Amino acid sequence: MDAVNAVQIVVNEFFQSLGVWLITPMRAITFLGDEEFYVLLLPIIYWSFDQMVGLRVGMMLLLSNCFNTLFKFLFRTPRPYWVSDSVTNHLHERSFGLPSGHAQNAASIWGWLAVEVKQRWFSIVMVVLIFLIGLSRIVLGVHFLGDVLLGWLIGGLLVWAFSAWYKKVGHWVDAQSLGAKLGLVAASTAVLMLVILGARMLAGDWVMNPEWAARAGDAEPFNLDGTFTLGGTWLGLLGGFVILDEKKGRFLAGEGGWRRLVRFLIGLVGVLVLYFGLGQVFPRGANFASFALRFFRYTLIGLWISWVGPLLFAKIKLLSFMDN
């Protein structure tokens, strides 16, 4: 164990020494940074509160995931329980440690929602939530303090950069033709995926330290499933939005009373069928067919959320478009 990790281990040991009573609440808090939770959050915002806020939240999540995987592949650092028997991992993680994806996504997603809502009380709640999600990763033994701090930093920088550029880029994209917009979506999808694949190639034949491997269990730090998940979701979400916006315009997500809940419940069924149903049918593995089918599955999920779902809601009188 190097000197930096030896110092950071003390922080994990301190929080874990406070007692096992912390584990259950920390597990609940860490779920608010899980992929499964965001799969619920994005559609409910997009369909039932504000279409454009939902789209921006989805973009922020995917951009955050891209940068997180990129840095994990570049830094290739261990998790606390990989290097010390004194830290208990209350969750099992297969990826590298630095930066913490939960801390980064929390800072970027919940931080961005604070920017959108612009209410002091909401911003305070979001800051507390961001802090607790990061803390939960330390208590559960899956991240060092440095992993969490860097995750928060990157997430905060993403919020700052997105806030500075999204309107300018959005106005420029709005002026393009439908074909050009779809071309930009396809090109940006390729860029996001190539950034990660390039980082993987830079690692070459890197082999995990045997001492890490002995403690890590079923670790697969260079797993590329997330890269194809990211690419497919980005293509489907943005491509579907572009087509819907061009053909139907924008819809009134914040209106409809009880219909807002019904939209979410019906739409969620579609998400779950694609997320879990096709996930059980399609093969898994590190091969071209598995990656291609994963990309296709998540493209369908993105299309369902941004395009097909809203069309269905409008068809059954659960949603109104501004142009109607």
For the segment 88-124, what is each residue's pLDDT rounded down to a tens digit?
999 989 999 999 999 999 999 999 999 999 999 999 9
Domain assignment present for 97 = yes
Say yes or no to pLDDT of 286 above 90: no
pLDDT-derived band at 277, boundaries 50, 70, 90: confident
* Secondary element (H or E) of residue 127: helix 120-139
What is the extent of the structural domain holding 181? Answer: 3-315
Single-letter amino acid code for the residue at 180: A
Name the domain count of the chain: 1
Query: pTM of the full predicted structure?
Result: 0.93
Question: In the beta sheet, which residues pair with residue 41?
Answer: none
The CA–CA distances, whole Å, from 158 to 108, 120, 129, 211, 235 equal: 6, 21, 18, 35, 20
Instruction: Say what the pLDDT of residue 287 is.
Output: 79
Domain assignment present for 321 = no
Instruction: Say what the pLDDT of residue 279 is.
Output: 66
CB 63 within 8 A of CB 162: yes
Instruction: Say what the pLDDT of residue 276 is.
Output: 77
Domain assignment present for 324 = no
Phi/psi for 251 (5° steps) reads: -110, 165
Question: In the beta sheet, which residues pair with residue 321?
Answer: 251
Q: For 53-81, what is each residue's pLDDT tens digit?
A: 999 999 999 999 999 999 999 999 999 99
The CA–CA distances, whole Å, from 80 to 14, 20, 88, 99, 208 equal: 13, 18, 9, 13, 15
- Six-digit token string for 160: 């700052």
Domain assignment present for 323 = no
**pLDDT cut 70: percent of the chain above it:** 98
Q: What is the mean pLDDT of residues 217-245?
A: 94
- Long-range contacts of 313-320, Cβ-Cβ distance < 8 Å, separation of 24 or more: 313/47, 313/251, 313/263, 313/266, 313/267, 314/248, 314/251, 318/256, 318/259, 318/262, 318/263, 318/266, 319/47, 319/251, 319/252, 319/253, 319/256, 319/259, 319/263, 320/251, 320/252, 320/255, 320/256
What is the distance between the alpha carbons of residues 291 and 288, in angstroms, rounded to a whole number? 5
What is the distance between the alpha carbons of residues 47 and 286, in angstroms, rounded to a whole number? 34
Domain assignment present for 216 = yes
